[in-house]
Amino acid sequence: MSTEGPSSLVGHKYPAREHNARVLGHFKQKKQLKLADKLAFFMSGEDLELWQYCDQTKPIRQNRYFFYLLGVEIPGSHVLYDAANDKLTLFLPDIDYDDVMWSGLPLLPEDALKKFDVDEVKYASELEKVVGSLEGYTIHTTDHNKWNAKVLLFLTEKDPDFFHALDESRLIKDWYELELMRHASKITDKCHLAVMSATPIETNETHIHAEFMYHALRQGSKYQLYDPICCSGPNCSTLHYVKNDDEIENKRSVLIDAGAEWSCYASDVTRCFPINGDWTEEHLTIYNLVLDMQRQTMAMIKPGARWDDIHLKAHRVMIKEFIRLGIIKDYPEEEIFDSSISARFFPHGLGHVLGMDTHDVGGRPNYDDPDPKLRYLRLRRTLKEGMVLTDEPGVYFSPFLLKDVLEDPEKVKYINKDVLDKYWSIGGVRIEDDLLITKDGFENFTKITSDPHEISKIVKESSAQGKDRFHNVV
């Protein structure tokens, strides 16, 4: 199968010049500057680094701010944007001729100039000369570090207005970025389908993890933006469970939160399913509740909507259904809402900004918010066209989260323990899709089904057809 990127990007370069101009525009606006006279941006990318006492290098993850300005994944590279002259320069690492025997020839400057959207390509040996020649300039960078040590005396670090400009620029995705994210989503869809279809060979959470990674790699996605969360039964109540090594025998529920990366851009998708294809009554009840939370919040998504309001709507949907199910006793819904007890069953935010990071920049969270329902909401702003975010409601039955509730007379009065006890084995349910905010609403990048009947059919068909079926998914 093909492991190439989106065909729509053939013949196009990553829009580095446009990105630098966008950052400059936000920076000038924040600083109230009319001109960019004697102003520059500089950034060093990550470089290869040996493990201590070892000749093997650590895995490398390119600096996301650097990549946004340049679109280059080559370790040991640097970027200089001379805003005063609108000139963008890429610095490649110097050639280590002893290493050519082992690793082959690196990308040469003339080839880099054809490949990347820059005005000039030089080697890192010229850094001090070129950067030092910008006499009287203020040269902004994120921070002084070991990768820019040779020129740090010329650099101004940690200006909050520079970070603001970078974050606001990254918040709104351009067409090129969106194509990368759509492609990452297509890979992720097939990986989730493969996991559902591999039920006959899944006897441990590690198998779920391995299945996802195998199919991602087959499609050319060598890296995952975050460690896959592959859990079963009560383990599903741990939000960022990454042990992924427990037996799934005698358990009924599975949750997998995993997303492939393509060229530093993310996808982030969660799906749940019954391990044998048959939903228990309790599992299906909670699954349908979470699905309804997602449907009702999606109906509110459009430019100008406040994400706080959409998030709190999910809490209200859950409270209403919990009262109907008898998990919460028949108190007034508004009293339950004001008590914030719902945050013990839905402790995280409804979603977050998505881009080159899983929890991408620009969301403006407030982790000191006194309202428990809002404290872990990573997106706290009005929605804008061009943002990409996740919609991921969840319901969890965690002894850890509910301990204080069950021991506090003022809180436990709301809980019907006999009914609650029916749901502990589920652990938790989360459904997560990736959405682009459009002019009138949103585009859902995530195509893998979340319909419980379709999921059941996929799992059951794979079991019926045996262990060879899943190999044909991608």
- Domains by residue range for the chain, with CATH: 7-171 (3.40.350.10), 175-465 (3.90.230.10)
391-413 burial by CB neighbour count: b if 16+ within 10 A, else e?
bbbbbbbbeebbeebeeeeebee
Write the DSSP string, 214-261: HHHHHTT---BSS--EEEEGGGGGSTT------B-TT--EEEEEE-B-
pTM here?
0.96
Q: Measured between alpha carbons, how far is 30 from 445 in angstroms, rounded to an integer?
A: 33
The per-residue pLDDT for 422 is: 97
Q: Measured between alpha carbons, how far is 112 from 126 in angstroms, rounded to an integer?
A: 16
Contacts 24+ apart (CB under 8 A), 116-119: 116/13, 116/14, 116/16, 116/70, 116/71, 116/72, 116/90, 117/13, 117/14, 117/15, 117/16, 117/17, 117/18, 117/71, 117/88, 118/16, 118/17, 118/70, 118/88, 118/89, 118/90, 119/87, 119/88, 119/89
The per-residue pLDDT for 453 is: 98
Which residues, listed in sequence order, are joined to residue 19 by a DSSP beta bridge?
none
Q: Measured between alpha carbons, how far is 223 from 354 in angstroms, rounded to an integer?
A: 16
Q: Measured between alpha carbons, how far is 356 from 68 in angstroms, rounded to an integer?
A: 8
The per-residue pLDDT for 4 is: 85
The per-residue pLDDT for 200 is: 83
Q: Measured between alpha carbons, how far is 391 from 146 in angstroms, rounded to an integer?
A: 38
The per-residue pLDDT for 204 is: 97
Q: Can you list the positions of beta strands (E) in 64-117?
A: 78-82, 87-92
The per-residue pLDDT for 467 is: 54
Which residues, listed in sequence order, are joined to residue 44 by a DSSP beta bridge?
78
Q: Measured between alpha carbons, how far is 447 from 445 in angstroms, rounded to an integer?
A: 6
DSSP state of 59: P
The per-residue pLDDT for 172 is: 98
The per-residue pLDDT for 470 is: 47
Relative to beta strand 155-157, strand 138-141 is: parallel
Residues of the chain whose pLDDT is less than 50? Answer: 470
Residues contacting residue 68 through CB under 8 Å, at least 6 positions apart: 19, 166, 169, 170, 356
